[in-house]
Chains A and B, each alone.
Chain A
Amino acid sequence: MADLFKIAIRNLLRYRRRTLLTASLITIGVVFVLIFISVSGSFKAMMIGQITDSMIGHLQVHHKGYVASIENLPLNMNLPPGAMKKVETALRSLKEVESASPRIKFGAMFSNFTETTNIRLNGVYPEREFKTVPLLPSRITEGKAAIEKGEILIPILLAWGMGVKVGDAVVIVATNKDGSVNGKQFKVAGLMESATGPGGRDGYVHIEDAVELLRMTEMEISEIAIRLKDFDKLVPVTDRLDALLAGEVDKAGKPIFEVHNWEKLSPFYNIARMIDLMTFFIKLMLIAIVLISIMNVMIMAVYERIREIGTIAAIGTPPRKILSMFLIEGLCLGVLGAISGGVLGVILLWGINMAKIAFDFGLQKGIILSASLVPADLWTVSAIVILVSVIASLQPALRASRMEPIDALRHV
């Protein structure tokens, strides 16, 4: 086998310029794919991080049917204390769960005493909320990253529009699930950027204020946001939690809970999927580049060496060894392209990271692009290139191995 590699490598060196051109083409393809995968992957990871760590959490538990009506923030679909206890028991049994934050979500009127607008409010336990969505404090641009009872965090655009500043008094008026209206005065503790850009109208109050405002006799939770220790375990943990809660049914025998991870709760999941789809098509382009360039060069190699093939076949070289010779030649070209592309790709990615390219996401300004190459991606791209190189060599190699020596020796 080593001798077949020796012959293959020498044949590649025999046509140095052609080998260099083909390997360069593959190298460029590999470099572009690696850079695209790394940059888009990093952007995707950052985007998911922003969505999950500053707003949604990794997964959420709701009353069955709540998510379908989530835009209405239906108070009559909140979870009673008994149900909440069941969820907390289930969460305690999952060691992958880092924290969980119960929320009371409701729509309300926001008044600065002269103007009124609408707002979506989240009643939370501040410590648990900040632990579950750790980027939330970083969204607070003015004021303090904390919520005491009687305080409110409001979206900065709403504050600007209403002329409200930190420390001002505002009134929140809300309707409870029975239809009665109640109002309560709050002090603006901080102004916060929206995680998703203009239009975000989510504010935060202490959960006990929400209970009081909504005149709840006992705390009824709209959702429980959950953060995992390891985001990569999202799917299995979601499945396990779903299984744990699936047995909980109401008096009518219908399931009480529904468990969703961020993918089902955020429209940004579609962007993440589009990035994956684009990556797939970029990989397809790489396959096409490798396939065409290797097949072209191997067809040329066979055509140019027909008499040589005739000679080795006449001497008695078994067809399988002739096949192997050409397959190994294609393999070596692929390995050369994959290695040089990998090395160059890593160097270029290092350069991109050194350049500290900044971009904006939503209202988050100046996020530094941190393109990181996952080893699995490097191995996958290399394996694709090498495998496709061998496949591309197969047809020319089969042609060489099936050549009749007498015809090949006659070739001029």
Chain B
Amino acid sequence: MKLISADRIGKDYQVGEVAVHALKDISFEIEPASFVSFVGPSGSGKTTLLNLIGCLDKPTEGVLTVADTDVSALNRRASAAFRGKNIGFIFQDFNLIPVLTVYENIEYPLLMVQSLPAAERKARVERFLEGVEMTGQKDKYPDQISGGQKQRVAIARALATNPRLVLADEPTANLDSATAYTVINLMKKLRDELETTFIFSTHDPKIVGEAEIIYTLTDGALQGRDVKKEGSHG
């Protein structure tokens, strides 16, 4: 059973009077519990593709199915509900909510998106705080912790809702090498524990090597697929 299925999807933008073909004729399938990377230079379409998979945008052609749902058919409200239930996001700039503490940032989607009861929220937040080794920092605000710690919090926030898929757009771009490795290994460890599919984009060759399946994009077209680990899905 495939978690994601893209069948000849494309994405065109209109910039003024010029049509920009951001993605062209892309097809792939990703199975659950995969650890996948989309790589390519800037402007190759990595972020656009992640946005389509994350239901933040819609393909202009082709069919994209995520978790058995044709995401092209979802309206704004349904997209938000679908994302809240199935997808976690990790951003390059961490995008933590500055007025909330570490604890509250992780709790945010459980409260505002999934409306879980207090006891369940507490259990989940504490579990993920421990998972990303941030229990000691739980009462700090984002501006009181380092970049690596922020990304750990972002990972915990993305996973707290038990999503089937976590999308990370250049999650290590703003981190030093050592922290970047730590973050990627943390993502991989949590994938192993939770069997959540992780898809991240990067142009850092050292980080790329950590992915088990690597899709290469150039000028909006899928150029290749590389499976690094035997038995990987995809």
Q: Give me the interface of A with B, judged by CB distance under 8 Å.
A: 3, 7, 10-11, 13-14, 307-308, 311-319, 321, 404-406, 409
Q: Does A318 lie within 8 Å of B80, measured CB to CB?
A: yes
Q: Does B57 lie within 8 Å of A315, measured CB to CB?
A: no
Q: Does A312 lie within 8 Å of B91, measured CB to CB?
A: no
Interface residues of B in 58-107 (CB under 8 A from A): 76-77, 80-85, 87, 89, 91, 93, 95, 97-100
CB within 8 Å for A10 and B56 given contacts A317-B113, A409-B91 = no
Alpha-carbon separation in the docked complex, A308 to B57 (Å): 18
Please tell me which one of the listed residues A308, A316, A409 contacts residue B109 in the complex, with CB atoms under 8 A apart.
A316
Q: Does A316 lie within 8 Å of B85, measured CB to CB?
A: yes
Q: Give me the interface of B with A, judged by CB distance under 8 Å.
A: 51, 54, 56-57, 76-77, 80-85, 87, 89, 91, 93, 95, 97-100, 108-109, 111-113, 157, 161
* Chain B residues whose CB sits within 8 angstroms of the CB of A409 once the complex forms: 56, 91, 95
Alpha-carbon separation in the docked complex, A317 to B111 (Å): 10
Alpha-carbon separation in the docked complex, A406 to B51 (Å): 7
CB within 8 Å for A318 and B97 given contacts A406-B51, A406-B56 = no
Most buried by B among A10, A315, A409: A315
Q: Does B97 lie within 8 Å of A311, measured CB to CB?
A: yes
Alpha-carbon separation in the docked complex, A134 to B99 (Å): 64
Q: Does B109 lie within 8 Å of A315, measured CB to CB?
A: yes
Q: Does B84 lie within 8 Å of A311, measured CB to CB?
A: no
Q: Does B56 lie within 8 Å of A316, measured CB to CB?
A: no
Alpha-carbon separation in the docked complex, A380 to B111 (Å): 35
Q: Does A406 lie within 8 Å of B57, measured CB to CB?
A: yes
* Chain A residues whose CB sits within 8 angstroms of the CB of B77 once the complex forms: 318-319
* Chain A residues whose CB sits within 8 angstroms of the CB of B81 once the complex forms: 316, 318
Q: Does A315 lie within 8 Å of B111, measured CB to CB?
A: no
Closest B residue to A315 by beta carbon equals: B109
Q: Does A315 lie within 8 Å of B56, measured CB to CB?
A: no
A389: min CB distance to chain B, Å: 20
Q: Does B56 lie within 8 Å of A317, measured CB to CB?
A: no
Closest A residue to B97 by beta carbon equals: A308
Alpha-carbon separation in the docked complex, A20 to B116 (Å): 35
Alpha-carbon separation in the docked complex, A318 to B80 (Å): 6
* Chain B residues whose CB sits within 8 angstroms of the CB of A311 once the complex forms: 89, 91, 95, 97
Closest A residue to B154 by beta carbon equals: A311
Alpha-carbon separation in the docked complex, A399 to B205 (Å): 40
* Chain A residues whose CB sits within 8 angstroms of the CB of B82 once the complex forms: 316
Alpha-carbon separation in the docked complex, A313 to B161 (Å): 15
Alpha-carbon separation in the docked complex, A278 to B77 (Å): 48
Task: Apart from A313-B80, A317-B80, A317-B109, list 17 A-B contacts with CB within 8 A.
Answer: A13-B99, A14-B99, A308-B95, A308-B97, A311-B95, A314-B56, A315-B89, A315-B109, A315-B157, A316-B83, A316-B109, A318-B77, A318-B113, A321-B112, A404-B76, A405-B56, A409-B95
Please tell me which one of the listed residues B91, B95, B98, B111 contacts residue A14 in the complex, with CB atoms under 8 A apart.
B98
Closest B residue to A310 by beta carbon equals: B95
* Chain B residues whose CB sits within 8 angstroms of the CB of A10 once the complex forms: 99-100
* Chain A residues whose CB sits within 8 angstroms of the CB of B56 once the complex forms: 314, 404-406, 409
Q: Does A11 lie within 8 Å of B99, measured CB to CB?
A: yes
Query: What are 15 sample pairs from A and B whose C-beta atoms fall under 8 A apart?
Result: A308-B97, A311-B95, A311-B97, A314-B56, A314-B89, A315-B83, A315-B113, A316-B83, A316-B113, A317-B80, A318-B77, A319-B77, A321-B112, A404-B76, A405-B56
